[in-house]
Amino acid sequence: MKGFPDVRMRRLRRTRELRALVAETALDPGDFIYPLFVVPGAGIRNEVPSMPGVFQLSVDQLPREADEVQGLGIAGVLLFGLPESKDESGSGAYDAEGIVQQALRCLKQHAPDLLTVGDVCLCEYTSHGHCGRLDDDGYVNNDRTLDLLARTAVAQAQAGADIIAPSDMMDGRVAAIRSALDTAGFERVPIMSYAAKYASGFYGPFREAADSAPAFGDRRQYQMDTPNVREALREMELDAGEGADILMVKPALAYMDVIRAARETFCHPLAAYNVSGEYAMLKAAARNGWIDGDRVMMEILTGIKRAGADIVITYHAKEASRLLKP
Ligand code: PBG
């Protein structure tokens, strides 16, 4: 080496082609899932103020959206619903005519090959905004909630959901949902469990989009506590044991170590949710000209995959896929 300029780490960075040749991580639209917010009515495309580029859509808008998503090679969509009306037990979640069930039937008819993922939770449907049934003292009752979650999962499967994704964080929900799906003849429908879902400030914009903010208190009694990673592995172990087919970490950015630990501990396919607040932060900074939005978006998505995620649920799915087009 002596007498020569030392560029040993730089040789393979010289051109774009060399960098592409040795890239260890690749983004692929086929690994993205795009969340959709479905609202009652017709002809509705409401932009969510804190999430520029993300819209609440009525069911009649979904075929167009499905064509766009599919044309970009995105794997699938994750459905959230805003019901016509809410009640104590969140009955809009498991009603056969519920908004997500209507959306699923429309999508399955229009674009049968586009994967549809049903988010199973009650918070968008309960009058109090919590993810389950309440006891008199306001505590979310775990076991009385399981039955409603299971009914929601079956209603979604009946409407054509390809994957069921429980996000409520009740204990034992994966087993309850698996058994209800099997009993109803949906043994082929996989479960993607929001296994390590943290109580996070990053869900703020989502709660505006889905109208699901809790009317009192917060979700710390059922969602995970930020300081913990070993506990996340226990959550995943339980969900895996109960029959989860895909495990998820959520949010992504402040929890990259959790994604990595999950990757090293489990052989299941691993999903990470790049949540609403992560999207909103990037958009706000980019709009101010403080960062290059496209560049930072690709950096974040690549980082989530490098940490160990196989599947990325992201509001950036369409814009990132457009940039990835050859
Ligand atoms: C429902 C649910 C939430 C998110 C996904 N499913 C909100 C919450 O737990 O309050 C958040 C998604 C996001 O912020 O993008 N429980």
**Residue in this structure with the two tokens 């009650």, named with its chain if needed:** 122
Ligand 1 centre from 192 Cα, in Å?
15
- State the pLDDT at residue 253: 98
Q: Count of CB atoms within 10 A of residue 184's CB?
A: 16
* Calpha distance 217→206 (Å, rounded): 17
Tokens of 245: 């087919």
- State the pLDDT at residue 1: 53
CATH number (domain holding residue 157) = 3.20.20.70
Q: Count of CB atoms within 10 A of residue 216's CB?
A: 9
Q: Do the domain assignments include residue 9?
A: no
- Which ligand 1 atom sits closest to the C-alpha of 119? 6
Contact criterion met (CB below 8 Å) for 62 and 110: yes
Ligand 1 pocket mutation pick from 77, 167, 313 by most atoms within 8 angstroms of CB: 167
* Calpha distance 107→66 (Å, rounded): 7
- State the pLDDT at residue 2: 62
Spell out, as residue ranges, where the chain has pLDDT lower than 50: none
Q: Do the domain assignments include residue 17?
A: no
Check if 248 has its Cβ closer than 6 Å to any atom of ligand 1.
no
- State the pLDDT at residue 214: 95
Amino acid (one-letter) located at 34: Y
Q: Which among 89, 275, 269 is positioned nearest to 193, based on CA atoms?
A: 269
Q: Do the domain assignments include residue 172?
A: yes
Q: Do the domain assignments include residue 191?
A: yes
Predicted TM-score (pTM) of this structure: 0.97
> Is the C-alpha dihedral spanning 69, 70, 71, 73 positive or negative?
positive
Rounded to the nearest angstrom, the gap between the alpha carbon of residue 115 and the centroid of all alpha carbons in its chain is 13
Q: Do the domain assignments include residue 104?
A: yes
Ligand 1 pocket mutation pick from 38, 202, 212 by most atoms within 8 angstroms of CB: 212
Amino acid (one-letter) located at 249: V
- State the pLDDT at residue 5: 83
Contact criterion met (CB below 8 Å) for 217 and 198: no
Domains contained in the chain, number: 1
Rounded to the nearest angstrom, the gap between the alpha carbon of residue 247 and the centroid of all alpha carbons in its chain is 11
- State the pLDDT at residue 4: 77
Tokens of 224: 């995970």
Which domain does 226 fall in, by range? 26-324
Q: Give the tens place of pLDDT for each residue, 42-88.
A: 999 999 999 999 999 999 999 999 999 999 999 999 999 999 999 99
Q: Do the domain assignments include residue 13?
A: no
- State the pLDDT at residue 232: 98
Check if 117 has its Cβ closer than 6 Å to any atom of ligand 1.
no
The answer for residues whose C-beta is within 8 angstroms of residue 2's C-beta and 6 or more apart is none
Q: Do the domain assignments include residue 311?
A: yes
Strands 311-314 and 163-166: unpaired
Q: Do the domain assignments include residue 41?
A: yes
* Calpha distance 246→271 (Å, rounded): 7
Phi and psi torsions of 268, nearest 5°? -65, 155
Q: Which residues are tagged catalytic?
A: 197, 250
**Residue in this structure with the two tokens 């992560």, named with its chain if needed:** 278
